[in-house]
């Protein structure tokens, strides 16, 4: 009798387990096989997820046409040339786009990527250039991303928006090693573009703290600043003039067919910028969105 009481629960558990297996198999057939977490044929733009070590395709990138980016002609020309050389398989530099907020740093990276792919579309021997965004908080996992991209047949622009480091953050060392100093270094099929409000990426407090506590302050300072030096191409963005600001507004208005009196648009655009205390491409875009809304139009 004792054995009967002991084996009965076991029979029930086995039956339940088999039932659960059948349910799981049925659900798997219904859902289908999992997507390849590293399928670069799905799109031309992706976002890297560090925890899953995967890339998610972005089918509709949030960007504007490169012709709408005004007042940054020198930076536009330099980044276009650098990116085209890389896409064609020639030598090119990692790029740091730094400077004033809202002046089109990240917009330029995304617009250049689209324009280069458009121009090279007619070249059957050149594959599309892939854009992979890595978030600032995932920079420590940059070596893992490089390992994934290294063996792929495409050429990749790895892009980090608003890159900066503060306090005791040491993840910048992973970036330094990837850019120039590591044993493997940057893969030949990868270029790294970053935007930052700071020319030297690291905060002033971070540099001063390191300088004050180091045995040799000058060596510590140089070690921190050397991160920016590993970008071969520096592109500075500065606050735009009133003329450039109104030119940006005009370009958006014409592009989206916002038919209004030009003098009225200029006057309202200047009032809009004065209320915000700044003139930039971002402020111009925000004004145009407001204008379009008042005219009963939707733009994107």
pLDDT > 50? residue 32: no
| pTM (two decimals) | 0.78
Q: Do 251 and 195 belong to one domain?
A: no
Q: Is 198 left (phi over 0), alpha (psi -120 to 50) or beta?
A: beta
Q: Do 205 and 57 fall within a single domain?
A: yes
- The neighbouring-strand residues paired with 156 are 130, 190
- Kindly state whether residues 92 and 121 are assigned to the same domain: yes
Span 90-127, pLDDT tens digits? 999 999 999 989 999 999 999 999 999 999 877 777 78
For residues 220 and 259, give the distance between their C-alpha atoms in angstroms, rounded to a whole number.
57
Work out the percent of the chain whose per-residue pLDDT is above 70: 75
Beta strands per DSSP E along 5-59: 45-49, 54-57
For residues 223 and 286, membership in a common domain is answered with no
Residues 114 and 28 placed together within one structural domain of the fold: no
State the Cα–Cα distance between residues 133 and 45, nearest whole angstrom.
8
Q: Do residues 3 and 56 share a domain?
A: no
- Would you say residue 39 lies in a domain? no
- Residue whose token pair is 């044929």: 41
Q: What is the extent of the structural domain holding 264?
A: 242-294
Q: Tens digit of pLDDT for each residue in 221-274?
A: 565 566 777 888 999 999 899 999 999 999 999 999 998 888 999 999 999 999
| Of the candidate ranges 8-22, 33-47, 101-115, 181-195, the one whose mean pLDDT is the lowest | 8-22
User: In the structure, what pLDDT confidence band is assigned to residue 168 with cuts at 50, 70 and 90?
Assistant: low
Q: Which range, of 2-16, 121-135, 222-236, 279-293, averages the lowest pLDDT?
A: 2-16
66 and 213 fall within a common domain:
yes
| Residue 266 placed within a domain | yes
Residue 75 phi/psi, 5-degree rounding, is -65, -40
């Amino acid at each position: 009798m004792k054995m009967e009481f002991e084996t009965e629960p076991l029979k029930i558990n086995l039956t339940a387990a088999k039932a659960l297996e059948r349910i799981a198999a049925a659900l798997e057939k219904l859902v289908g096989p999992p997507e390849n977490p590293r399928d670069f044929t799905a799109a031309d733009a992706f976002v890297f997820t560090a925890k899953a070590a995967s890339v998610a395709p972005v089918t509709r990138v949030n960007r504007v046409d490169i012709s709408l980016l005004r007042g940054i002609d020198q930076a536009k020309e330099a980044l276009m040339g650098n990116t085209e050389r890389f896409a064609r398989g020639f030598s090119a530099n990692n790029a740091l786009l730094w400077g004033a907020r809202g002046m089109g740093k990240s917009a330029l990276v995304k617009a250049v990527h689209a324009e280069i792919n458009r121009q090279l579309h007619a070249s059957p021997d050149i594959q599309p250039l892939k854009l992979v965004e890595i978030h600032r908080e995932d920079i420590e996992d940059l070596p893992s991303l490089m390992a994934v991209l290294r063996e792929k047949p495409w050429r990749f622009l790895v892009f980090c928006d608003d890159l900066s480091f503060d306090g005791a953050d040491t993840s910048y060392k992973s970036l330094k090693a990837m850019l120039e100093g590591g044993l493997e270094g940057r893969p030949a099929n990868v270029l790294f573009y970053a935007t930052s409000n700071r020319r030297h990426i690291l905060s002033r407090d971070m540099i001063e703290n390191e300088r004050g506590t180091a045995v040799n302050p000058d060596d510590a300072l140089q070690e921190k600043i050397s991160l920016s030096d590993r970008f071969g191409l520096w592109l500075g963005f500065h606050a735009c003039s009133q003329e450039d600001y109104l030119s940006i507004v005009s370009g958006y208005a014409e592009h989206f067919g916002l038919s209004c009196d030009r003098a009225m648009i200029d006057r309202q655009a200047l009032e809009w910028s004065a209320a915000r205390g700044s003139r930039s491409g971002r402020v111009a875009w925000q004004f145009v969105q407001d204008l379009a809304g008042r005219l009963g139009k939707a733009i994107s």
